[in-house]
């Protein structure tokens, strides 16, 4: 299914006048999330009531951008992930998250903090479990949404040797 989503995104880019309707039983956020921002791709869930499906298809086929209620609920649940301030991250976990967010790899963080890469990896797994996320994208979305760097970087005594933004 993920391959199909990628192909749809490519088709969306190549055929600028084509409206695409995805009629699916899939509610996997990892698959649907990249498609939600495509202007001419409508996402309609098969589990909707027939009347709802008819309304959504009519709007989508006349040029509208539609996400059926079940799809919206699924995508909104992704946005309702636990805020950082409601999670009991340890200081070490918070430092690892800050370094991950600033662009360092697990290996670089391990060297920087004089820890085993397995320890850093365990911290990352613990962070993801506590925050209720399943992939790096969700993890970074929470960190960005909750302005992790604004409130947490003062605790960390690290300045990157290389610029994090190209050209700086």
- Measured between alpha carbons, how far is 77 from 36 in angstroms, rounded to an integer? 14
> In which residue are the tokens 């991950």 written?
100
Domain limits at 98? Answer: 84-155
Q: List per-residue pLDDT tens for the chain, 168 residues long.
A: 557 777 777 887 787 788 888 888 877 777 777 778 778 889 999 988 999 999 999 998 888 889 998 888 777 765 555 555 556 888 888 888 888 877 889 999 999 889 999 999 999 999 888 888 888 887 877 776 665 544 444 343 333 444 444 443
Residues 49 and 21 in one domain: yes
| Domain assignment of residue 98, yes or no | yes
Residues 89 and 74 in one domain: no
- Measured between alpha carbons, how far is 155 from 96 in angstroms, rounded to an integer? 12
CATH number at residue 133: 1.10.10.10
- Total count of domains within the chain: 2
Residues 75 and 103 in one domain: no
- Please tell me the total number of residues recorded for the chain in this structure: 168
- Measured between alpha carbons, how far is 42 from 67 in angstroms, rounded to an integer? 6
């Amino acid at each position: 299914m993920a391959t199909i989503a990628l192909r749809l995104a490519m088709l969306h880019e190549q055929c600028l006048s084509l409206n695409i309707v995805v009629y699916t039983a899939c509610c996997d956020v990892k698959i649907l999330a990249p498609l939600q921002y495509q202007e001419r791709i409508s996402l309609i869930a098969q589990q909707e009531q027939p009347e709802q499906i008819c309304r959504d298809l009519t709007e989508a086929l006349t040029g509208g951008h539609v996400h059926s209620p079940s799809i919206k609920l699924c995508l909104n649940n992704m946005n309702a992930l636990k805020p950082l301030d409601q999670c009991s991250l340890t200081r070490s976990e918070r430092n690892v998250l800050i370094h991950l967010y600033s662009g360092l790899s697990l290996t670089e963080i391990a060297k920087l903090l004089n820890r085993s890469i397995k320890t850093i990896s365990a911290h990352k797994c613990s962070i993801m479990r506590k925050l209720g996320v399943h992939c790096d994208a969700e993890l970074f979305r929470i960190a960005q949404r909750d302005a992790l760097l604004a409130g947490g970087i003062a605790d960390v005594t690290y300045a990157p040797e290389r610029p994090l933004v190209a050209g700086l």
